[in-house]
Amino acid sequence: MNGGSGWCIPGRLLITGLFAGLLGLVLATGLAAQADPQARERDRLDLGRLAEGPAIIGGGIVVGEPSGLTGKLWYTETGFAVDTAVAWSFQDNPGLYLHTNGLFHLAIIETAGGRYLSPFLGAGLSYRIGDKARVGLRVPLGLSILPFRAFPAEFFAELAPGIGLVPDTSPTFGAGIGMRFYMPF
């Protein structure tokens, strides 16, 4: 340890490696999306019926770890979204839990029944208030399901491995299923 801060060199290397890998993944996804604009346009779900502007906004619930309220701002032209949660965490130090993520919807897949599936990957921050406040990084990955053309709802499932940063470096894990309703933004 150095100076009693609780941080050791291997912990810093782990965080640096995680950050570098995450940054590389985000850049690679962005470059792949830029490489073939026609394919990107083909894969994009036409959410324009809900959006008078460049985005739609949704709110709903998530059940799992954590469980609570969730919101999402989804930029319909690019597939980028920002999601948040205000929830209750049941892990080691139960308490109020907040997170925000940047999400990249990697593709939009139309099924034979007219439903849409969209896998996503992202990165974000979490903050938990219990006996001790905890701050961490999270890497959500999951699947959004838009089951009806005329009904502005999204069902989703998400896994979110991560790493706690404050007060100590430790692995974290979250998972949940949920639903959001959308309106124009």
The enclosing domain of 116 has a CATH number of: 2.40.160.20
Q: Is residue 163 part of a domain?
A: yes
Predicted confidence band at 37 (pLDDT cuts at 50, 70, 90)? very low
Average pLDDT, the chain: 79
Q: Is residue 14 part of a domain?
A: yes
pLDDT for the residue 78: 85
DSSP state for residue 62 in the 8-state scheme: E
Q: Is residue 147 part of a domain?
A: yes
Q: Is residue 60 part of a domain?
A: yes
Domain residues for 56?
9-184
124 is written with which tokens? Answer: 């974000």
Does the structure show a pLDDT above 50 at 7? no
Split into its structural domains, the chain has a count of: 1
User: Which helix (H) or strand (E) element contains residue 17?
Assistant: helix 9-35
Q: Which residues pair with 67 in a beta bridge?
A: 88
Task: Give percent of the chain above pLDDT 70.
Answer: 70
Predicted confidence band at 14 (pLDDT cuts at 50, 70, 90)? low
User: What is the reported pTM?
Assistant: 0.72
C-beta of residue 85 within 8 angstroms of C-beta of residue 101: no
**What mean pLDDT do residues 112-136 have?**
91
| 119: number of Cβ within 10 Å | 14
CA pair distance 45, 64, nearest whole angstrom: 28
Q: Is residue 114 part of a domain?
A: yes
**What mean pLDDT do residues 166-182 have?**
94
More confident residue, 177 or 34: 177
pLDDT for the residue 114: 77
More confident residue, 142 or 130: 142
pLDDT for the residue 91: 83
Q: Is residue 3 part of a domain?
A: no
Q: Is residue 4 part of a domain?
A: no
**What mean pLDDT do residues 72-91 have?**
91
Q: Is residue 159 part of a domain?
A: yes
pLDDT for the residue 2: 44
